[in-house]
């Protein structure tokens, strides 16, 4: 994939950048990825990461990593570590050191003082609820705070008292003095600073007043020399405040903000608040549960950095909000794993077959390819004995003309091996089939049977070549396409989003994995033949019990020739 070429050809933002660079030959492209350290990154963040870092590479510019750490109530060092790890995992390197908005707190405070001295900011004592009430609605204008017309000197002194901690939380805040009748609600005297008495992970207890995101963001962009500040469409109205703050402070550099559509993914929820509800109610295991689209969850499920970047390239960058098919994401990882995953056999729901015409000491070895189309991936050895396992779904007791696998009185070919004929069955005390008694035709290795009719092929494992394993079969967490739009999204949980199976993998393959189980940075991917693509779950696996997560099935349902999206108002 030529990511740079694709971005240049399909990205409307590139047209803007090209125009800016053509008009100013001395301009160097400089952007940033500015997450708040209050949660884990998800697939939507990956779109923004790829866009910013790929553009920086394309235009030979720079991309900063800056944590907008202006709300210590919700922030945590663990999120900072996780975000840095995810960006590195995707293969990107930010310019210079990691930056923090908190590094600029003194400068931001000075800019706030400038606004006060210009009569453009005031200290307000309305409560949060009163501020919301005074703000008005889309159809009704707001009304001025009774504290709006204080003198500049009063506001300077009160803001200093806020800084010294003389007010309690919620007792005072600093607001911009703009227009309470503005058609844009965000411009109706927005709060610029609030009081929070809590230890900050970077500045410790140095500050008790903290800038709001909208105030810190634009000024941090300016301080860092950012030329193009790229964000999602929900910040479109914030641009008015972004530009107002820059215009009314003594900044030397004026970045420009541009918006693109956020990523909305079928059958998924990206809201941190809603994901936390799922965790608290024990519907999912945590932030890395493979049923949610956080990057840590996708990584655990078996998605690779290249598959995620390929997906982000395919969906493109537009101003139109749409709902992306989940099958497109699956297509990207399936296409990659089809080229790279080792082929092996696994039995998820075992049923035993006894080959009565082979004695108990019978043993034959077959050398099979690790990949059918890539000899360079090597081979591995499997053994064939008189007792083997097949999947229970590959046998049917009653005759069914449409059923093409093993039936009583019929034959089937074992993958890489012989044709067998099912002659009778044995059942346990509950009526479940415990044994299938079969005849093995030893004249059919690599040959057609006497009737010259090739039967279907199924996978198998010798009883003497097994290692027990758990298999987690993941499906969509929700049974509707757009759960984000549902007020009570919990009503649409897919009760079959996780099915656990207990069976076997090839012993030699399993033993090789067990040697590497302590190193959870090693990515190991398999195609379990006729089943799907799987990866080892390093979190749940133990040396005596391997656990595999299904990454994606074998069948591709996405039309790769056409990107299919739906308007987000449709379910």
Catalytic residue IDs = 36, 262, 272
The structure tokens listed for 482 are: 């757009």
Q: Is 142 annotated as a binding residue?
A: no
For 465-499, letters b (16+ CB in 10 Å) and e give bbbebbbbbbebbbeebbbbeeeebeebbeeebbe
Q: Is 430 annotated as a binding residue?
A: no
Q: Is 337 annotated as a binding residue?
A: no
Q: Which parts of 11-104 fold into alpha helices (H)? A: 12-23, 43-58, 77-89
Q: Is 393 annotated as a binding residue?
A: no
| C-alpha–C-alpha distance, residues 534 and 503, integer Å | 14
Q: Is 483 annotated as a binding residue?
A: no
Q: Is 349 annotated as a binding residue?
A: no
| C-alpha–C-alpha distance, residues 164 and 170, integer Å | 15
Specify the long-range contacts of residues 238-244, CB closer than 8 Å, at least 24 apart: 238/186, 238/214, 240/184, 240/186, 240/187, 241/176, 241/186, 241/187, 241/190, 241/214, 242/214, 242/217, 242/218, 243/218, 244/176, 244/178, 244/187
Task: Reduce the secondary structure of 252-290 to three states and give it as a string.
Answer: CCCCEEEEECCCEECCCCCCHHHHHHHHHCCCCCCCCCC
Neighbouring residues of 272: CB distance < 8 A, sequence distance ≥ 6: 38, 39, 40
Going by the DSSP 8-state scheme, the letter that residue 462 receives in this structure is: E
Q: Is 27 annotated as a binding residue?
A: no
Going by the DSSP 8-state scheme, the letter that residue 204 receives in this structure is: B
Q: Is 45 annotated as a binding residue?
A: yes
Q: Is 170 annotated as a binding residue?
A: no
Neighbouring residues of 119: CB distance < 8 A, sequence distance ≥ 6: 152, 177
Residue written as tokens 């709006």? 148
Q: Is 11 annotated as a binding residue?
A: no
Q: Is 533 annotated as a binding residue?
A: no
Q: Is 188 annotated as a binding residue?
A: no
The structure tokens listed for 278 are: 């799922």
Q: Three-class SS of residue 464?
A: helix
371 burial type by CB count under 10 A (0-12 exposed, 13-18 middle, 19+ buried) = middle
Q: Is 230 annotated as a binding residue?
A: no
Q: Is 127 annotated as a binding residue?
A: no
Q: Is 139 annotated as a binding residue?
A: no
Q: Which of 323, 372, 315, 311 is CA-nearest to residue 552? A: 311
Q: Is 48 annotated as a binding residue?
A: yes
Q: Is 414 annotated as a binding residue?
A: no
The values of phi and psi at residue 231, to 5°, are: -150, 170
| C-alpha–C-alpha distance, residues 226 and 68, integer Å | 15
Q: Is 510 annotated as a binding residue?
A: no
| C-alpha–C-alpha distance, residues 172 and 160, integer Å | 11
**What are the binding residues for L-glutamine?**
68, 213
**What are the binding residues?**
36-38, 42-48, 68, 213, 232, 262-263, 270-272
**What are the binding residues for ATP?**
36-38, 42-48, 232, 262-263, 270-272
């Amino acid at each position: 994939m030529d990511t740079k070429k694709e971005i240049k050809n399909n990205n409307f933002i590139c047209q803007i950048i090209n125009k800016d660079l053509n008009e100013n030959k001395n301009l160097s492209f400089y952007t940033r990825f500015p997450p708040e350290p209050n949660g884990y990154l998800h697939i939507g963040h990956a779109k923004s990461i790829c866009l910013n870092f790929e553009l920086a590479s394309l235009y030979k510019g720079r991309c900063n990593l800056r944590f907008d750490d202006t709300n210590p109530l919700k922030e945590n060092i663990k999120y900072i570590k996780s975000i840095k790890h995810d960006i590195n995992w995707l293969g990107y390197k930010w310019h210079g050191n990691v930056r923090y908005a908190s590094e600029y707190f003194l400068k931001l405070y000075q800019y706030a003082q400038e606004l006060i001295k210009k009569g453009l900011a005031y200290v307000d004592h309305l409560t949060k609820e009163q501020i919301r009430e005074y703000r008005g609605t889309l159809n009704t204008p707001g009304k001025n705070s009774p504290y709006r017309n204080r003198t500049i000197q009063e506001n300077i002194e009160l803001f200093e008292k806020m800084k010294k901690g003389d007010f309690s939380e919620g007792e005072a805040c600093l607001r911009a003095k703009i227009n309470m009748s503005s058609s844009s609600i965000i411009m109706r005297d927005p709060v610029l600073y609030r009081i929070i008495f809590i230890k900050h992970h970077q500045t410790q207890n140095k500050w008790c007043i903290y800038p709001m995101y909208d105030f810190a963001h634009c000024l941090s962009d300016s301080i860092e020399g950012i030329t193009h500040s790229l964000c999602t469409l929900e910040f479109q109205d914030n641009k008015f405040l972004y530009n107002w703050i820059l215009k009314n402070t003594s900044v030397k550099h004026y970045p420009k903000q541009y918006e693109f559509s956020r990523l909305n993914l079928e059958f998924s929820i990206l809201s941190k608040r809603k994901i936390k509800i799922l965790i608290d109610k024990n519907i999912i295991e945590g932030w890395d549960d493979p049923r949610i689209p956080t990057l840590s969850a996708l990584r655990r499920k078996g998605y690779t950095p290249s598959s995620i970047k390929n997906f982000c390239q395919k969906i493109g960058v537009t101003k139109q909000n749409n709902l992306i098919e989940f099958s497109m994401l699956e297509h990207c990882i399936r296409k990659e794993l089809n080229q790279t995953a080792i082929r092996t056999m696994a039995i998820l729901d075992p049923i035993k077959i006894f080959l009565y015409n082979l004695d108990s000491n019978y043993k034959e070895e077959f050398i099979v390819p690790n990949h059918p189309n890539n000899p360079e991936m090597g081979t591995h050895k499997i053994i064939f004995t008189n007792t083997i396992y097949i999947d229970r779904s590959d046998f049917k007791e009653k005759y069914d003309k449409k059923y093409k696998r093993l039936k009583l009185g019929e034959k089937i070919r074992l993958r890489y091996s012989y044709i067998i004929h099912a002659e009778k069955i044995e059942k346990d005390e509950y009526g479940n089939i415990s044994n299938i008694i079969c005849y093995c035709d030893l004249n059919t290795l690599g040959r057609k049977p006497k009737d010259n009719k090739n039967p279907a092929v199924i996978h198998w494992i010798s009883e003497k070549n097994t290692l027990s394993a758990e298999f987690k079969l993941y499906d969509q967490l929700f049974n509707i396409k757009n759960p984000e739009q549902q007020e009570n999204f919990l009503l649409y949980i897919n009760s079959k989003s996780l099915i656990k199976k207990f069976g076997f993998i090839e012993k030699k393959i399993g033993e090789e994995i067990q040697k590497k189980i302590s190193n959870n940075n090693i990515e190991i991917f398999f195609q379990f033949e006729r089943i799907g693509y799987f990866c080892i779950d390093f979190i749940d696996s133990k040396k005596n019990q391997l656990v595999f997560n299904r990454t994606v099935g074998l069948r591709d349902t996405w039309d790769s020739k056409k990107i299919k999206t739906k308007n987000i108002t449709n379910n």
